[in-house]
Amino acid sequence: MKVFIVFLGILMVSVSAMVYQGDLGAYGHEQLLLKEAAEECAAGAALFLDEDAYSKGLVVFNYEQGETYIKNYLAYIKRNSKALSKGIIRYKTEFEDENKGYSPSNREKTPAVTVEIKVSTEDLFRGPFVEVTSLERRARYELPEEKQKSFFYAGDS
Q: pLDDT tens for residues 97-119?
A: 888 888 888 888 889 999 999 99
Which amino acid is located at 90 in the chain? R
Give the global pTM: 0.80
User: Of the candidates 136, 131, 149, which has an alpha carbon nearest to the alpha carbon of residue 91?
Assistant: 136
Q: pLDDT tens for residues 18-49?
A: 999 999 998 999 999 999 999 999 999 999 99
Residue-range domain boundaries for the chain = 1-142
